[in-house]
Amino acid sequence: MVALEGDTIVGMVSAVDYLHPDKADPELWINEVGVASSHRGQGLGQALLQATLALGRELGCRVAWVATERSNTPAMRLYAAAGGAEEPQETVLFTFRLD
């Protein structure tokens, strides 16, 4: 999902719909939401996120999820304002060097 100003991308959401082998319904994993600094605070992230969630519904996803750092205040505000529910468990991130 992208937002354009002329030919310039000023906002984007990348997401993947997938069917986990041990779950009955497809899910929508939201990988990233980004808005150019020149376009922040105008509701663009919210509009992009809502459009992505609507697409997930059209694809038959019953759940959408996204992860962020607690210190990412803009993301925390965006996801809460969009109706997201903060999960109580603590998540651990593993990274794998591939080079």
Residue pLDDT tens, the chain, 99 long:
999 999 999 999 999 999 989 989 999 999 999 999 999 999 999 999 999 999 999 999 999 999 998 899 999 999 999 999 998 877 777 878 989
- The fold of 2-81 is Aminopeptidase (3.40.630)
φ/ψ bin of 33: left (φ > 0), alpha (ψ from -120 to 50), beta (otherwise)? beta
The model's pTM is 0.88
Q: Which pLDDT belongs to residue 93? A: 76
Please say whether the beta carbons of 32 and 12 come within 8 A.
Answer: yes
Q: Which pLDDT belongs to residue 91? A: 78
Q: Which pLDDT belongs to residue 96? A: 84
Any idea where the domains of the chain sit in the sequence? Answer: 2-81
Q: Which pLDDT belongs to residue 78? A: 94
